[in-house]
C-alpha cells in the first residue's frame, strides 16, 4: 500500500468534523490499508482519516496493552463513551502526543476507561473497550474525527506552552501543512 503525508496542526482538515461513512467501498479499504502503513511508518499508536487529509469518520489503532498483545484494528463511524472520572492531572504520567503535533508532548487528563462502538471493514459491529493508554488512544482518535486536537483540550499554562511550542516550530510561518513519515522523524518536523 502507500504511506501518506500526515497533516500538521493548522491544516483545515484537522479542525472540521468528519463525515459518516455510508458504504465500505474499495476506496475506503485502500484508505484504511494506507492508514495502517502510515501509522507504522510514523511510529504512532493511532491515526484518524483526517490526519491524512480525508474527512471520513475512520480511525486505525495499534496500541500496546500491558501484559497482552497490542490492541489493533479499524473503527468506522465510531461512537465514544468516556467511562470513569478523570484523575487529577499527573504531569509525568499523563503526557500525550500526536502525529499532527509532531515531536511535542503535553500532559492531558483523560477518562481512565473508554468504549468505542462502530463497524469494521466487513460491516460488522465492533466494540473496543480499554483503559490506560488504549482508553487515551480511543478518546484521542475520536476527538480527531470531531475536529479536535488534544492541544485544544489543554488548559492554563500547559495550553500556553503548547501554543508557544507550535509557534516556535514555525509550522504556520513556513507553510508546513503536512509531513512525510518515510523521510522525516516526527521530532524533526
- What distance in Å separates the CA atoms of residue 11 and residue 142, rounded to the nearest whole number? 18
Is 174 labelled a binding residue? Answer: no
187 belongs to a structural domain: no
- What distance in Å separates the CA atoms of residue 3 and residue 61, rounded to the nearest whole number? 15
CA–centroid distance for 30 within its chain: 19
Residue 167: its H or E element: helix 156-169
188 belongs to a structural domain: no
180 belongs to a structural domain: no
pLDDT band at 171 (very low <50, low <70, confident <90, very high): confident
Q: What is the CATH number of the domain that holds 126?
A: 3.90.45.10
Residue 80: its H or E element: strand 71-83
- Annotated active-site positions, please? 141
Q: Which domain holds residue 144?
A: 6-173
Q: Is the pLDDT assigned to residue 176 strictly greater than 80?
A: yes
CA–centroid distance for 133 within its chain: 12
Is 111 labelled a binding residue? Answer: no
184 belongs to a structural domain: no
User: 72-91: per-residue pLDDT in tens?
Assistant: 999 999 999 999 998 787 77
130 belongs to a structural domain: yes
Q: Is the pLDDT assigned to residue 187 strictly greater than 80?
A: yes
138 belongs to a structural domain: yes
pLDDT band at 147 (very low <50, low <70, confident <90, very high): very high
Q: How many domains does the chain fold into?
A: 1
186 belongs to a structural domain: no
Angle, CA of 72, 76 and 80, to the nearest 5°: 85
13 belongs to a structural domain: yes
Amino acid at each position: 500500500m502507500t504511506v501518506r503525508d500526515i497533516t500538521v496542526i493548522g491544516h483545515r482538515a484537522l479542525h472540521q468534523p468528519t463525515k459518516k461513512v455510508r458504504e465500505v467501498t474499495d476506496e475506503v479499504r485502500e484508505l484504511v490499508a494506507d492508514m495502517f502503513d502510515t501509522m507504522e511508518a510514523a511510529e504512532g499508536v493511532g491515526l484518524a482519516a483526517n490526519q491524512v487529509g480525508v474527512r471520513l469518520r475512520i480511525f486505525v489503532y495499534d496500541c500496546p496493552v500491558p501484559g497482552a498483545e497490542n490492541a489493533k484494528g479499524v473503527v468506522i463511524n465510531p461512537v465514544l463513551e468516556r467511562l470513569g472520572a478523570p484523575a487529577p492531572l499527573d504531569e509525568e504520567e499523563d503526557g500525550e502526543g500526536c502525529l499532527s503535533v509532531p515531536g511535542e508532548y503535553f500532559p492531558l487528563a483523560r477518562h481512565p476507561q473508554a468504549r468505542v462502538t462502530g463497524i469494521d471493514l466487513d460491516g460488522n459491529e465492533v466494540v473496543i473497550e480499554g483503559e490506560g493508554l488504549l482508553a487515551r488512544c480511543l478518546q484521542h482518535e475520536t476527538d480527531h474525527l470531531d475536529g479536535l486536537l488534544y492541544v485544544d483540550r489543554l488548559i492554563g499554562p500547559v495550553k500556553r506552552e503548547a501554543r508557544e511550542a507550535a509557534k516556535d516550530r514555525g509550522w504556520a510561518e513556513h507553510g508546513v501543512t503536512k509531513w512525510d513519515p518515510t523521510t522525516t522523524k516526527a521530532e524533526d518536523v
